[in-house]
Amino acid sequence: MAKILIVDDSRIMRINLKKIFEELGHSVVAEAGDGNSALEAYEKHMPDLVTMDITMPGMSGIETVEEMIKRFPDAKIIMVSSHSQKEMVVEAISKGAMHYILKPIKHEMIADMVGRFI
């Protein structure tokens, strides 16, 4: 069972992701709606995996990835994006994200990502 941090400014997306992770037997140890909260939650919970939205108010997902990797070099971060955000996904990966999954999120995508990186 992996410990998961979900970072997304959409409450609905956090609920959906949490449901999928829990159905797969994982534990969502924290949720965050912005970059600063994500950094605090990571430090407090030290999760095995982070899902990170790209577009958020304040600090973007890309900026949050960069800062999280700077502070916690072993952080495993998966970007959650839409098809129209290809350039931003590439930038996030260049900053330290491990991979990405596209919306709409499906159980199989989450199971595959956790299997690959945990």
In the chain, where are the structural domains located? 3-117
Per the DSSP assignment, residues forming a β-bridge with 27 are 3
Length of the chain: 118
Token code pair at residue 111: 């199971």
Q: Do residues 36 and 59 make contact, with C-beta atoms less than 8 angstroms apart?
A: yes
30/89 Cα distance (integer angstroms): 23
pLDDT tens, 73-100? Answer: 999 999 998 767 778 888 999 999 999 9
Mean of per-residue pLDDT scores for the chain = 93
Long-range CB contact pairs, 17-26, < 8 A, 24+: 17/51, 17/80, 17/105, 17/110, 20/105, 20/107, 20/110, 21/110, 21/114, 23/107, 24/107, 24/110, 24/111, 24/114, 25/1, 26/1, 26/2, 26/114
Residues of the chain with pLDDT under 50: none
Hunting for tokens 């159905």 — which residue is that? 23
Q: What is the pLDDT at residue 116? A: 85
3-117 fold: Rossmann fold (3.40.50)
Q: What is the pLDDT at residue 104? A: 85
Other C-beta atoms within 10 Å of 91: how many?
Answer: 18
Hunting for tokens 């950094």 — which residue is that? 39
Q: What is the pLDDT at residue 83? A: 66
Q: What is the pTM of this model?
A: 0.94
